Homo-oligomer: A and B are copies of this chain.
């Protein structure tokens, strides 16, 4: 194992560790560690809610999840010699749940969770259809996941970091705050909100303190969205063996990482759709000097995925177009088309005995593919979602015999105000 440069003790809170990470983006958060180009190192990562979500059969923790506290990120890691305009090369050598800890109260200790967040606490992709809080706990056995809350499925996880990115420059941060404020201003009271403005409450800013802390806390960007620096991209294909190229906006690049996922379907559709966990990630970093200009990568990561994804060869797929459930025609809206495709998949799965929430949680967590199949055929986009049939322990394809009925078990824990 490479040298452990960012350790986390599972028995302590994220803010009580030897090194303190952060949960906001800001150029003035000091590097926690400095490494050299070519270095390999291990990083521990805390699950995004720092232990607020439990391995139990209640969804109260999801109902009341403290969204101002996320994401608990490890870093920043400064890379010697990195300058704005460079590309930071990050190899994901390995990653997984918390090493050597197979049970315990912290997600990543042999288990993880997927949540449907309620409309008034985050919401999600299908919040109009699923306004309440639900949860599924997944048990890990090697690379495979199963859940007492979603029985009759078992799949190999597609393990990846949900969030990794470089620090923004002051200029870039300013741009984010301006444009997101403008969006919020169009409907400031919307539930769920259109975007999340800076929020000093619960900010964690590494080693900052005093006036610097207060200033940065007031300015720093929230970590929910992906942006020019990478960030919370939730790209399920950033598996072991991937190489990622990030634009560098500040001296040292200041890479941070967290929000590890044991598995996730394309879209992470339940908001916390991945199987969330703490764990470790082994990285190697390097620099391509001046690479942003050389390769035309001024924003957003480019990457080369690893080659050990779980392989499936038979899929059941659903399609959707950009017509709302109410029958309104929208113009080339792939977001909507994917919602409709996912709703079709959910409807289908309920015919076998699953509750809609179980089906929704499954689509968030299993390694499903979500494709932008057609984006030009006015006025309808066509999006498609593909479920690997082998993850079910019963026949899932349509046939003249009709669907078998499974026992849905105890179902997904539910909590409502």
Contacts and interface: CB of A to CB of B under 8 A. Distances in A.
A298 to B, nearest CB: 8
Contacts of A5: none
Contacts of A350: 296
A248 interface: no
A333 interface: yes
Contacts of A370: 371-373, 375
A194 B380 CA distance: 10
Number of copies: 4
B380 A226 contact: yes
Contact of A297 (B102, B348, B369): B348
Interface of A: 1-3, 40, 87, 89, 91-94, 99-102, 110, 124-125, 141-144, 156, 175, 179-180, 182-183, 192-196, 224-228, 230, 232-237, 240-241, 245, 266-271, 273, 282, 284, 288-289, 291, 294-297, 299-321, 323, 327-335, 338, 340-341, 344, 347-348, 350-351, 369-384, 386, 389-390, 397-400, 402-403
Given A347-B296, A378-B194, A398-B291, A237 B384 contact: yes
B226 A183 contact: no
Contacts of A179: 323, 327-329
In the A-B complex, the 4 residue pairs with the smallest Cβ-Cβ separation, listed nearest first, are A93-B142, A234-B374, A225-B380, A179-B329
B141 A235 contact: no
B313 A374 contact: no
Contacts of A232: 374, 377
Contact of A334 (B110, B372, B382): B372
A268 B376 contact: yes
A225 B295 contact: no
Contacts of A273: 376
